[in-house]
Amino acid sequence: MYRELKTNGGMLPQSRPLEARAADNLHGYGRNGSGRNAAVQQSRGESSTDVRVESSPALAENGVSRVFVLDKRGEPLMPCHPARARKLLAKGRGRVHQMFPFTIRLIDRTREDSSVQPINVKIDPGAKTTGMALVWIEEGVNHVLHLSELTHRGAAIRKKLDQRSNYRRRRRTANLWYRKPRFNNRTRPKGWLPPSLRSRVDNTLSWVKKYQSICPVSGIVLELVRFDIQKLNNPEISGVEYQQGTLFGYEVREYLLERYNRTCIYCQGLSNDPVLEIEHFVPKNPSKGPKGTNSIKNLVIGCKTCNQTKNNYQPEQWMEVLSKSRKKIDKIRLKNLNRLLEGKRPSLAATAAVNATRNALFFELRELAPVECSTGGRTKYNRCRLNISKTHCLDAACTGKIDSVADWKQNVFLIKAMGRGSYQRTRVNKYGFPRGYLMSQKTVHGFATGDIIKACVPSGKKEGTYIGRVAVRKSGSFNIQTKQETIQGISWRYCKIISRQNGYNFAIPNSSPT
């Protein structure tokens, strides 16, 4: 919980600043919204387990981020220190413009009357999390004004698309069995990306535009990385071997039979089952957990008995089942399964996602501002030379040509893409049949699911003050999810909007009944 300081009523409690700049110096910096004890709450269309954001290792207890500042016409000025922002609000010279990221608007200053220095947005793109840093360069020193980490929702999009595909396949099979299959009559525009990858590019572009609207951004520095996936699989590869894949000279089945000596990899032939089958080590359709692929590294040879026994268990789940059995064959299976897990290589899906989106991100960022490209090797060199921790946002701060980095020990603004809800107003079971219906409107008394609100309950069993994300009901009795628990049955009359739902979740201060 933030230390309680005397602040303007429109601001959340803020961490204690380390340094105090002159109150009339608008060339200072400012504070922005998140701390170590942060909670991200439930949004429309997602389960509460999907919205948690892990704290970044870059968080520093003695650091301070900056407050964004706008002039009276809404034009961006230089970010200021939180102490300066508190004085401006206390004197009535500023208004709270938005909470996430925290921004104030001056009522007595225009951009023409202020001195504005150029600020760069530095980006370290990733498959799951993208790090961003706002940096002001002064005499060769990169002053970090703001750090953020954006968590993408590509996996959630892929899961929903698979689910939709299964629903449609069932309906076509049941109702349109006479229709001929159509596969080759679909066209895609040049530069098309799958929705799960497109969302990564769009999320990054959205936040670069957001920073341009609240900060005088003059340029973008992008870590344009490309991974050699074959080199990651086989460090010894070189020359013509790049053209000769794993299956060079083999068919898939013959390759696997020869690799595993025509023996079941699990029971080593103890089941006496002569039928050998190609088995997905990580199942393609598991009951839970990540899906396996048809990659050759995920394929093994197993007998029909072991294949049916394993069913669609994840390797770790099957280990738990086998560890409870006293049968000799299950002990052999457990031993071989352990050996396979020890030699199991990590998935390269994230690497492939970065490779697929790198050029699309570069070309679209180039339309927003001048873009300087850097390499992952230079980023690592800068980070190791300056003895800076390894995180997504600090990698972004170390991107490009830099001599030194200052003020990097500060809190990180955590962002998680959640989407803007679902058009589907009918809930279905696992077979695709309707099981319930949602209300037609998405707002109730001006509140929508996903809004961050503050509820002050004056009396009763739920007496207290709660800050969190709201889930609305047509009756006007809302649920508020805080970090500790979900408070049910709070009337809309006690609620006040802090931030509207905009497709993202943010790290917000810890809240509990008072």
Question: Using the 8-state DSSP alphabet, how is residue 469 labeled?
Answer: E
Between CA 354 and CA 361 the distance in angstroms is 10
Beta strands in 424-463 (DSSP E): 426-428, 434-437, 443-444, 447-448, 452-457
pLDDT of residue 54: 47
Between CA 234 and CA 493 the distance in angstroms is 63
Q: How many CB atoms lie within 10 A of CB 427?
A: 11
Beta bridge mates, 423: none
CATH class, domain 437-509, is: mainly beta
Whether the link from the prior residue into 101 is cis, omega within 30° of 0, is yes
Between CA 197 and CA 219 the distance in angstroms is 24
What's the token pair of residue 321?
């089942």
Comparing CA positions, the residue from 273, 285, 292, 291 lying closest to residue 311 is: 285
State which amino acid sits at residue 151.
T
pLDDT of residue 18: 27
Per residue of the chain (514 residues), give pLDDT as tens.
333 333 333 333 333 332 333 333 333 333 344 443 333 333 334 443 344 444 444 443 345 789 999 999 999 999 999 999 999 999 999 999 999 999 999 999 999 988 899 999 999 998 899 999 999 998 888 999 999 999 999 989 998 888 888 888 877 777 777 777 676 767 788 889 999 999 999 999 999 999 999 999 999 999 987 665 555 566 656 655 555 555 544 567 777 887 787 889 899 888 888 888 888 888 888 878 888 888 777 888 899 999 999 888 888 888 888 988 888 888 889 888 888 887 765 567 777 888 889 889 999 999 999 999 998 888 988 998 999 988 999 999 999 988 999 999 899 999 999 888 788 888 888 777 888 888 888 899 999 998 999 999 999 999 999 998 899 999 999 999 888 889 999 999 999 999 998 889 887 434 333 3
Residue position matching structure tokens 């409870």: 324
Cα of first residue to Cα of last residue in the chain, in angstroms, is 13
pLDDT of residue 122: 96
Between CA 7 and CA 33 the distance in angstroms is 14
Between CA 18 and CA 1 the distance in angstroms is 18
Instruction: Outline where 194-280 has alpha helix (H).
Output: 195-214, 229-233, 252-259
Between CA 145 and CA 149 the distance in angstroms is 14
pLDDT of residue 514: 36
Q: How many CB atoms lie within 10 A of CB 164?
A: 12
pLDDT of residue 124: 93
Segments of the chain assigned to CATH 2.30.30: 437-509
CB 292, CB 298: distance < 8 Å:
yes
pLDDT of residue 250: 53
